[in-house]
Amino acid sequence: MKHRLSLLAVLLLPLAACARGDATPTAAAGAGAGAVAAPAGATAQDPRVALSAKVPGSKPEDFRATPVPGIYELSHGAEISYVSADAKFVFSGDLYRVSDKGDFPNLSEVRRRELRLAKLGELPESQMLVFGPEKAKHTITVFTDVDCPWCQRLHGQIAEYNKLGIRVRYLFFPRTGPDTESWAKADAIWCATDRKAAFTRAKAGDEVPEKACPGSPVAREYQLGRDVGVSGTPGVVIETGELIPGYMAPAQLLAHIQKALADDAAERKAN
């Protein structure tokens, strides 16, 4: 018997392919520039309205014109696929532009970074655990699992990150998912009287008394992590919106941030 996938299922296949396991140390590559401005608000004549009618579960604002005539971007969180204007063809993968300089800016990665920053901007810092002064030179957002060894190593060096001018905002991402021990620990930390102290004790391997309370952000932060492309921990988002899938030592991370910001500034100036 033949089975047919819906168009939306095909578009979102990359989301289902993510494995949530420990992320090992890594150096992430940079990306180019060249994003296209989003279309204005949808009207009855807007092609995005017709596209959303043909792709179940989508909304007009999920679609965006690309530099390629007749091809639209469809975003879900920070995941991107592409669809033809008549919705008869769909493909996933990265879209590159051949520039006059002979390089190939990755337009898809530029968009993913924009989408990541927009999604993170929806969550107030009052729902995060923040280590470091408010006026630090750099701020990173780290999706963390209490039981992740590399996350524990990162937090064990929190003073070094702060000393280098890196402020760390933590969001919970229990890799094992809901109704697990790691999830319960995250809830217990949030419900503790002194959350940051409880977090630090848990990262050191100490017990945190089990506790539940209303308003825990763990579920929302876990879903946010999935939306922005986190597949392992620590998942580090820097100021440019780049997602670094793993641990970096303090000095290495600072150098990476500085280069990423310089590259981003140069790309914006060139475009």
Residues acting as catalytic residues: 145, 148, 151, 175
Supply the DSSP string of 113-178, one letter for each residue. HHHHHHHHTTS-GGGSEEES-TT-SEEEEEEE-TT-HHHHHHHHTHHHHHHTTEEEEEEE--TT-S
- Terminal-to-terminal C-alpha distance of the chain: 52
DSSP labels, 208-228: ------TT--HHHHHHHHHHT
> How far does Cα 82 stand from its chain's mean position?
19
Compute the distance between CA of residue 37 and CA of residue 31 in angstroms, rounded to an integer.
18
Name the residue among 177, 204, 207, 205 with its Cα closest to residue 192: 207
User: For the sheet containing 166-172, what is the strand order?
Assistant: 129-131, 166-172, 138-144, 235-237, 243-244
Cα torsion 192, 193, 197, 200 to 10°: value is 10
Residues in contact with 230: Cβ distance below 8 Å, sequence separation at least 6, in sequence order: 20, 143, 173, 243, 245
**Residue listed under structure tokens 């391997």:** 205
Q: In this structure, are residues 239 and 261 in contact, taking their beta carbons and an 8 Å threshold? A: yes
